[in-house]
């Protein structure tokens, strides 16, 4: 009885950990993409100062 309960709790805990990691990854990705794309868009508007901005944009677009 105890071993079955322990097994179920471990499975549930494993799923909670996986779910937690997915949420953390999604939040980090969203936060970084806002920061990165915001800076890239501002660079693309001012492309005379930053001629390499287009390359950065495509490189980071591939990452996300």
Write out the DSSP string of 25-39: HHHHHHHHHHHHHHH
Query: And the tokens for 39?
Result: 């800076």
Question: Band of the pLDDT at 51, cuts 50, 70, 90?
Answer: low
Q: Residue 64: name the closest of 40, 42, 37 by CA.
A: 37
> Rounded to an integer, what distance in angstroms lies between the CA atom of residue 9 and that of residue 24?
22
* Residue 50 predicted with pLDDT over 70: no
Sequence spans of domains, the chain: 2-63
pTM above 0.85, yes or no: no
């Amino acid at each position: 009885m105890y071993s079955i309960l322990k097994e179920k709790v471990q499975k549930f805990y494993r799923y909670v950990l996986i779910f937690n990691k997915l949420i953390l990854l999604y939040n980090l990705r969203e936060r970084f993409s806002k920061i990165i794309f915001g800076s890239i868009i501002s660079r693309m508007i001012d492309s005379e100062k930053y001629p390499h901005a287009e390359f950065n944009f495509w490189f980071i677009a591939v990452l996300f």
